[in-house]
Structure 1
């Protein structure tokens, strides 16, 4: 699955180059700060000469901050709830690469908060069409009435870094500069 690592790295380079220019930081990559896909995203920003944030969680047997996080923007949390709150407080988009329980937990939290109007709508982009179609059968949830067809429109599935940037740019009218 190393292609997801490379795609996360490339996405982060693209978004950081496009939205962190001339002292502006309209989009800053924020990850869980750990290894794997999180490392790839922090690494892509680092390689683009941009800043990125890592919101690390203290776990008994894993999860050390990766070396590509901007040092003064590396934070460690004891509680998942506080960490997720900090993820979402300033979020202008959620980009979810294939992952396990933590990824699914964060994805469903955001979908529920947006669906219920508890947070403003943001672009929710799922990377890896085949992965997400196999892991979560949203069509079945709609067909059985568990979610509405409108709810299935809360996210977009894509396969490439360029598509992710396109979804973010389209949602924000090409630039997020007018955001609060």
Structure 2
């Protein structure tokens, strides 16, 4: 019989050992290196299960800077206003309200944070439509904006899984001005389109003057880095209404909701 302190069970050390914990309840084990693949799967499965329960069949993804504010200087206020207007237009005309089959189409999906993301979620919120926020953990903790539907507001550790969820249901991509993160996400989708790893979804860049000033697309063609036809993977638009027109001209199906329609929450 092993030595034990008075008043303790003889097997107290065994009961307290980390190896005796159920694996599913062992926090240290689940966050260990060997479980990285399991954590990756969990980040896929949780969001996928919730979106299926909400009958979200497709999305319109909106990218853009987190640093753009409603009262910002220069073009910032305009970009915020147009992202909000686009969220409203897409929600009213795209099918975010459940149809006769109980399905939601073209639901606004963003990275869930402030700036352009907030504006697009806010536009959907203005109409009473649901919208999605795919947040990611950052060194300076990102918090979700106040306009994504709470039940459709997610948090990811892995950028790769967040990107997968942003891409896998996307019927269209609308990119407002942004920095490194926006460029990363935009080129991820352009590369998937270029390499035919993604369906031929329309891609629209809002404010052509901004985009042509930060990326010399013609120089990429002239240097032989991309084919001339690759410039046809996207279009430019100057505001929310023309962005929506660009999407529909490229095949996005608009499904207007009745004026009095409100989403039936699950």
What TM-score comes out, normalization by structure 1 length?
A: 0.94
Whole-Å Cα distance in 2 between the matches of residues 173 and 119 of structure 1? 15
| 1:18 has 2:93 as partner | yes
Whole-Å Cα distance in 1 between the matches of residues 195 and 124 of structure 2? 32
| 1:58 has 2:137 as partner | yes
Q: Which runs of 5+ in 1 are unaligned?
A: none
Deviations 1:41-76 (A, max 9, x none): 000000011110000011121421001010100000
Name segments (4+ residues, structure 1) moved above 6 Å: none
Per-residue deviation, 1:160: 0.8
Whole-Å Cα distance in 1 between the matches of residues 242 and 156 of structure 2? 32
Out of 166-175 and 103-112, give the one that drifted further. 166-175
Please provide the CA RMSD for this pair.
1.5
Q: Secondary structure at the match of 2:109?
A: strand
Deviations 1:119-178 (A, max 9, x none): 11111110111110011110111111111110011000111111111111122264379x
Q: Secondary structure at the match of 1:93?
A: strand
Deviations 1:82-119 (A, max 9, x none): 00000001000111100111100011111111101111
Q: Is the contact made by 2:88 and 2:126 (CA closer than 8 Å) also made in structure 1?
A: yes
Which of 114, 138, 156 is the equivalent residue of 2:235? 156
Q: Which runs of 5+ in 2 are unaligned?
A: 1-75, 257-266
Which of 141, 149, 160 is the equivalent residue of 1:81? 160
Whole-Å Cα distance in 2 between the matches of residues 59 and 76 of structure 1? 10
What TM-score comes out, normalization by structure 2 length?
A: 0.64
Residues 76-155 of structure 1 mapped to structure 2, 5 A cutoff: 76-155=155-234
Per-residue deviation, 1:22: 5.7
Per-residue deviation, 1:23: 2.2
Whole-Å Cα distance in 1 between the matches of residues 135 and 126 of structure 2? 20
